[in-house]
Chain A
Amino acid sequence: MAVAGATGAPSTKPSVRARKERGRATAGRPGSPVRRNLPVYLAISPFYVLFAVFGMFPVVFSLYLSFQDWDGIGDMRFVGWQQYDWLLHDSVFWKSILNTFEIWFLSTVPMLFLALVIAFLLNSQIRYSMAYRVAYFIPNVTSMVAMTIVFGSVFAQAGLGNSLLKAVGLGDFGWMTSAWGIKVSLAVMIIWRWTGYNALIFLAGLQAIPSELYEAARVDGASSWQTLFRVILPQLRPVVLFTVITSSINGLQIFTESQVLFQASNGYSTGGPGQEGMTIVLYLWQKAFGDHQFGYGAAIGWALFVIVAIFAAINWRLVARFGEDRPVTSRRWRINRAR
């Protein structure tokens, strides 16, 4: 939060420094490791200083803020757990969580599948493969707002999407006017943006698989399906896990797409008809920067943190289980090679 960073900067930094100084004073007789390595500490300090000011402080401040009532300019008022109490009884908030997960699921599953297919294609020997790789990555670095405006034309009632549907003999679809249309539209934009990125990661994973494995499988008489499911996918598991984790993190923070796509008549963005495109972060933004309820916004932020933490725990369990059977596969592989 920019507000937090700007106000807090001058007051926190000196105190951090003072504490460092005190620590040095007790441990710092001439020639002690700290003293001797001072230039090194100084050399790495810019990151820590910047992180403390622009990373750590806003996090701590937003926790403090979530227990206050604050409109951005006036005085803060301590309200205890009231913001969280409101949040638990806020139907829009619960809806935004449901929406976020629906959009996340609708986008992540097809996206990872598509990315895997593209990675396989890129991994085979084709001409201009570098050009393809760049082309697939470009959506990821294109301005979101500009792309959302383009997609606005695609999903318009008389837009490209419906023209295509008509061309194949299907009727109009309410891309931006029906509950599922809205979610599909948002999912399509996310897929468009992240497929290339994930494909490149899969590609790196594919290229790391030793070719001996394919050869051994072929010698053992495995079909291509067996090679895919028994050799390639197990080898790709850590990469798949990585992409699942990153897309969960990104998926829970969907914001720009619905904000730009569904601006309400009075300039606020409430996520379109039926608030079907209202995501957690969009709600946070609307409350904090639209209604100037910064305390409530901070509380939503921390609720999002809890959800992400639960997700991370599930991911961690998956990774841990994976860590257990990894030696087994590699041992098997070594036995195969020995044979």
Chain B
Amino acid sequence: MEPTLSRRRLLAASLGGTGAALLGLTGCGTSSGSVSAGTGHLSLWYWTGALSTKLLAVARKGVPGVPGLKVKAAPMDDIYGKLLTGLAARAYVPDITALNSDVASFFPHEDQFLDLNSLGAGALKGQYLDWKWQGGIAPSGRMIGFPIDGGPSALYYRKDIFHKAGIPSDPDELAQAASSWEDYFAVGKKLRSAVPGSFLVGNIASVFRMSLLQSPKQFVDQDNHFIGDQEHVKRCWDLAVESLRQKLSAKINDGTPDSNAAYAQGRIASACNAVWWMGGIKQIASKTSGAWRVTKMPGGAANYGGSFLAIPKYCRDPEDAFAFVKWLLGPANQLAAYQEMALFPTTPAVYDKPAMRKPDKFFGGQRPVDVFGPAAEQAPVVYFSPYEGTASTPVYQELTNVELLGKNPDKAWRDAMAAAEKTLSQKGVS
């Protein structure tokens, strides 16, 4: 090449350099697969609100009790999308990641995560709620999810409206009067006739969801057989349809502006929901502070939601990563996370600590932990298969059709079952 072309050559060289850098960018990190490769810290992915911000700030400077260990936590949207991409590419995988209550959807690929038992998790088992601990264990016995928080559930209700309707409005009395779903509906009937325009439940899907969470069996069993057409699911479906037939539902989807308005105005006078809904109801119905109470959920205790921490197999330093998990999710720090973020501890020993026993003004001075604590301890051990989301989608769809479009419930049930079985068979579940 002639020397006169030097400017072009410069241009070409710089372009070539950019290209090489681009190639380098996609290639780097593949040697270990961890996103923190070549740095002095371990990486953690979580979504905002899943872990204590204060404790993560401490870990960023140095994890107490583990000399030299720093953990840099990155809050992200769409963790699953990024995690799946990383696992498929075998690169850019975090050293530690949060997984949601659907941790079971990762069980078919449990080999992508380290068995926490092999890192010494077994010694800590006694400190944690049994059902929560079991929730992170794959059918093979490998433990991939370590308990973060729990979602024990209760019946939230408006004491003032219940009182006006002549329904037992004291938490203990109501727990007696509405111990089963049928009794709860009877209460709703009374409410509807005494206070016209007020409803017992927001939508019938919530009845289905909460009653199904009381069952140890869900849609698919351990042997990957579809059991969603059996009595334990059909009963919950029938309960949901019954609440509609008795006109107890406000027919409003959760999380919509309509639903927020209905709670604020007292049109929906009660709801079965998890402990983390306390933050939500305090926000959307702030003006009704003092009027709300919580009590035992009809039909028994259940857990709704709550997340886990997992250590992917690409983790640079599993020992240190587990030491961090043990520190962050130990009883003392679970209590700290409850005080800071209202993450409900999965270590029952802290339930009688003064910090958890503070009266709550929103609930008229009631101690929520008096209800949620026992609910957390009594919640059943539930087997969630990797396919619950897939299987339940058509059921929730058909419940909406029944509730809002007036679809015949029997036909809706048959359609839901056919759709669930079809999608599951495509995924190899029969």
Q: Interface residues, chain A, CB within 8 Å of chain B?
A: 2-3, 6-7, 9-10, 13, 38-39, 42-43, 45-46, 49, 71-74, 86, 92, 152-153, 156-159, 174, 176-179, 263-268, 270, 272-275, 289-293, 296
Contact = CB atoms under 8 A, between A and B. Distances in A.
B397 interface: yes
Given A38-B12, A156-B257, A264 B427 contact: no
Contacts, number: 124
B26 A274 contact: no
A273 B258 contact: no
Given A39-B11, A264-B393, A264-B400, A74 B254 contact: no
Given A39-B11, A289-B81, A49 B19 contact: yes
A39 B257 contact: no
B397 A270 contact: yes
Nearest to B100: A267
A159 B30 CA distance: 52
B163 to A, nearest CB: 26
Nearest to A261: B256
Nearest to B84: A72
Given A274-B401, A296-B426, A266 B393 contact: yes
Given A71-B108, A266-B393, A7 B89 contact: yes
A3 B88 contact: yes
Nearest to A70: B88
A273 B404 contact: yes
B252 interface: yes
Given A6-B85, A10-B26, A42 B392 contact: no
B16 interface: yes
Contacts of A290: 389-390, 393
A267 B91 CA distance: 28
A177 to B, nearest CB: 5
B396 A2 contact: no
A73 B87 contact: yes
Contacts of A2: 81, 85
B15 A152 contact: no
A280 to B, nearest CB: 17
A264 B257 contact: no
A73 B112 contact: yes
Contacts of A49: 19, 22
Contacts of A268: 389, 393, 396
B205 interface: yes
A39 B205 CA distance: 64
B89 A291 contact: no
B262 to A, nearest CB: 9
B214 interface: no
A74 B257 contact: no
A73 B88 contact: yes
A9 B85 contact: no
A153 B392 CA distance: 27
A265 B257 contact: no
Interface of B is mostly: helix
Contacts of B9: 39
A73 B109 contact: yes
Which 6 pairs from chain A and chain B are nearest by CB? A39-B8, A265-B205, A273-B404, A156-B257, A73-B109, A39-B12
B427 A72 contact: no
Contacts of A156: 256-258, 261
A176 B18 CA distance: 50
Interface in B1-57: 5, 8-9, 11-12, 15-16, 18-19, 22-23, 26-27, 30
A49 B18 CA distance: 11
B427 A293 contact: yes
Given A6-B89, A177-B404, A293-B427, A158 B389 contact: no
Given A273-B401, A289-B81, 18 more contacts: A3-B84, A3-B85, A6-B85, A6-B88, A39-B11, A46-B19, A153-B257, A156-B257, A156-B258, A158-B258, A174-B404, A178-B405, A265-B203, A265-B396, A265-B399, A266-B209, A268-B389, A291-B423
Given A3-B84, A3-B89, A74-B108, A263 B255 contact: yes
A156 to B, nearest CB: 4
A265 B8 contact: no
A144 B84 CA distance: 25
A73 B23 CA distance: 23
Nearest to A269: B393
A152 B88 CA distance: 36
Contact of B405 (A71, A153, A157, A274): A274
Contacts of B16: 42
17 contacts: A6-B88, A6-B89, A10-B23, A39-B12, A45-B15, A73-B88, A74-B108, A159-B257, A159-B258, A264-B400, A265-B253, A265-B399, A268-B393, A270-B397, A274-B405, A275-B397, A292-B105
Interface in B62-105: 81, 84-85, 87-89, 91, 105
A158 B393 contact: no
Contacts of B209: 265-266
A45 B22 CA distance: 13
Contacts of A179: 405
A100 B26 CA distance: 37
Contacts of B427: 71, 291, 293
Contacts of B112: 73
B89 A152 contact: no
B176 interface: no
B206 interface: yes
Nearest to B206: A265
A43 B426 CA distance: 48
A266 B389 contact: yes
B426 A73 contact: no
A293 B397 contact: no
Nearest to B205: A265
